[in-house]
Amino acid sequence: MLKTADYISFHAKLNPDSLAVVELSSGRQWSYLEFDIAVAKCCSVLKKNKVKAGDRVTVLSKNNAEYVMLFFASMRIGAIFVPLNWRLTPTELSYLISDVEPTMLIGDDCLKYANLAGTVISDIIEQISTADVFESITDEINIDSPALILFTSGTSGKPKGALLSKRNIEQTCINASLLCEVTKSSVYLCDAPFFHVIGLVANVCTAIMRGASFYISDGFSPSKTLNNLYDTRLAITHYFCVPQMAQALRTEQSFESSKLNNLVAIFTGGAPNPSADINAWLEDGILAVDGYGSSEAGTVFGMPINKSFIAQHAGAVGFAAPDMKALIVDENGTECVVGQPGELLLKGDNIIAGYWGRARESDSAFTADGWFATGDIARVDQDGCYWIIGRSKDMYISGGENVYPAEIEHCLASHPLVKESAVVGVADERWGEVGHLYIVLKNDKDKPNTEVVLAFLTEQLAKYKVPKYISYIKALPKNATGKILKKALAKNNKPEY
């Protein structure tokens, strides 16, 4: 019997023959007992490659089963796992690698693209097949020691590595499993990239904690993902993605909501999900359950899996998990009343202790009394339901009034001509700052119609929130994880209206 103390080994004892993992690209599959043994062999592979407790193991690869094995094997021996974003440029990747100084760099064809030398996944598969079973005792590993580094997107500067401990990961899984009603009968489709907190933690780790099954896809493709969700043999119950992925599914030509009967819900997070999109899913008979989290905080809020509540609160991110503490404060640090927007502060075992090698940023991320400052502007309604309004650093002040760009962008998400939009604050002699709205039209053949857009916004927003300038562009500048680079928009500010 393996001397381990993680959830894979737990379920290997409890339900050894239960299906754990299926890799869709190859058809390979493992029961919990088989996967437990594979992870134990992977521990031996890491040890053979001189990896010890505290060392970093980096992976640059599309999703695959060995990715998960390497992650859990790293935790078993006390190493720190560092998944790398394969969408980044070689220059960006080189910076991250130099930052963490890994003992091992492992990857697939992404290594070749990035001109990086490392161990290829196929070699890891071969080494695992011939390795001895490593009998690790994870009780010897400090549960609060760093186990995972997730790099933030770096929209406001150089990327920072959020340090997640085993305790952080486990609490996030508890939060996610409660909010999303995950059981041992749940079946996940995992095609969100494993370098993202949604992919590796909210998907994989939560499924494993509950003894559920998960199918690994090597990447998101609307048509391929829909086919997997339609497949009654897979019987997927839980699918987690960012709102942009959910929108891509609904607009795919092959979309048929009647074929999604197995789904408990489409679970979204990572960015605000516009109420118009949520209502569209509801009209199709599918629950769109939005939530809130981050690399630093894991899963925090989630909407109840309740159609009538979602319909009444479309656009909200729901309730806090039971062990979470949330506080909304104004610029003076005073707690906000119901309905009043302010910065969201958090406490809980899922919150990171800090960032890799960045003591100053780690300290500044917390208030003097230990609250994690998210930088997100939120409000709570009379029902105790949380709403994310925007980012504090995106906020601008027009005529003494705070304006949150996300509110304007959410409003425009339901406009039939608008594909995407972004608002930035720009200097104005009269008002101090005003909004500059950038619009990407849904159809290249559509003609810009500023009067229609202004009339639409004026009907739904206070006058001071309506942007003074409107520009039409072909595409919004984005970083490798799909976040809009508002600084780039502000630098190239050329008002057209």
State how far the Cα of 228 lies from the Cα of 24, in Å rounded to an integer.
Answer: 9
List, edge to edge, every strand of the sheet that includes 298-302: 29-31, 19-23, 213-216, 187-190, 238-241, 265-268, 288-294, 298-302, 319-320
**Amino acid present at 434:** V
Per this entry, what is the length of the chain?
A: 497
- What are the beta bridge partners of residue 402? 397
Q: H or E element: which one contains 383?
A: none
The answer to whether 303 and 316 are in contact (CB under 8 A) is yes
State how far the Cα of 62 lies from the Cα of 24, in Å rounded to an integer.
Answer: 13
Strands 469-472 and 432-441: parallel
The SS3 call for residue 60 is strand
State how far the Cα of 470 lies from the Cα of 441, in Å rounded to an integer.
Answer: 12
State how far the Cα of 203 lies from the Cα of 182, in Å rounded to an integer.
Answer: 11
For the chain, state the CA radius of gyration: 23
- What are the beta bridge partners of residue 328? 344
The label of the residue with tokens 């608002």 reads 423
Burial of 234 (C-beta count, 10 Å sphere; 0-12/13-18/19+)? middle
The label of the residue with tokens 């990171």 reads 352
The SS3 call for residue 47 is helix
| Vertex 241: Cα angle to 301 and 231 (nearest 5) | 125
Return residue ranges of the chain for CATH 3.40.50.12780.
7-386
State how far the Cα of 6 lies from the Cα of 139, in Å rounded to an integer.
Answer: 9
**Listed residue (219, 409, 410, 196) closest to 294, CA to CA:** 196
CA distances from 80 to 127, 145, 158, 261 (A): 20, 9, 21, 39
- What does the pLDDT read at residue 153? 61
How many CA atoms, within 13 angstroms, populate the side-chain half-sphere of residue 242? 14
Domain 396-491 in CATH 3.30.300.30? The answer is yes
The SS3 call for residue 55 is coil
The label of the residue with tokens 């220059």 reads 91
- What are the beta bridge partners of residue 446? none
Strands 213-216 and 19-23: parallel
**Amino acid present at 40:** A
Return residue ranges of the chain for CATH 3.30.300.30.
396-491
| Structure token pair of residue 107 | 């990857």
**Amino acid present at 232:** T
Domain 7-386 in CATH 3.40.190.10? The answer is no
| Relative orientation angle of helices 32-48 and 121-130, to the nearest 10 degrees | 100
209's CB contacts (< 8 A; 6+ apart) are 7, 170, 173, 174, 177
pLDDT in tens, the chain (497 residues): 344 468 999 999 999 999 999 999 999 999 999 999 999 999 999 999 999 999 999 999 999 999 999 999 999 999 999 999 898 888 889 999 999 999 999 999 999 988 999 999 999 999 999 999 987 665 577 899 999 999 986 544 578 999 999 999 999 999 999 999 999 999 999 999 999 999 999 999 999 999 999 999 999 999 999 999 999 999 999 999 988 889 889 999 999 999 999 999 999 988 778 898 999 999 999 999 999 999 999 999 999 999 999 999 999 999 999 999 999 999 899 999 999 999 999 999 999 999 999 999 999 999 999 999 999 999 999 999 999 988 777 888 887 787 888 889 988 988 989 999 999 999 888 888 899 999 999 887 788 889 999 999 988 887 889 999 999 999 999 887 677 888 888 776 655 54
The answer to whether 60 and 111 are in contact (CB under 8 A) is yes
The answer to whether 81 and 71 are in contact (CB under 8 A) is yes
